[in-house]
Structure 1
């Protein structure tokens, strides 16, 4: 899906790591939520409350998922799942565009 219809977008950005990571929250009529964001090159760690599906729209990253010891390389068109109440590492190699879906 390349676009979302009939949504509400929160104007205020979610900004992390001194502006190197930012996203906007998109709210859907059914109560679901996604964020659309941009990651600048660097290494970051994020914590989750809800389970997430991270879809890479552009760029190249390596991710270290909870319980894993080996980094996994991903590019545009690929995705990864993160369990609720966990942390994951992401090493952004090139500017990356993503869509994060929150799973209840």
Structure 2
């Protein structure tokens, strides 16, 4: 491996980690629109009308906090695709979780 290539890899990894620590990057609303709004317009659910993102519906399935939402998108079960950390990094999953909890009460 070229010496400069190793340095570039370290730089890219560090920049990615820095973006996750701060609030830089897309907002929770923008991430929700990109990844979720197609099936969950306005917090609804186009696949299963009983599983909306409203607080009461989420609570019925044990999803109460932003962290719960972030964990759920990794392993949602039948009817929803899972989103790996490669698809939605953990920091972005947390932003989506905060947006869902704060927006759909």
Q: Which of the five TM-score ranges fits, normalised by the shorter chain? A: under 0.3
TM-score by length of 2: 0.23
Q: Which has the higher helix share?
A: 2
> Which has the larger Rg?
2
Q: Which has the higher strand share?
A: 1
TM-score by length of 1: 0.23
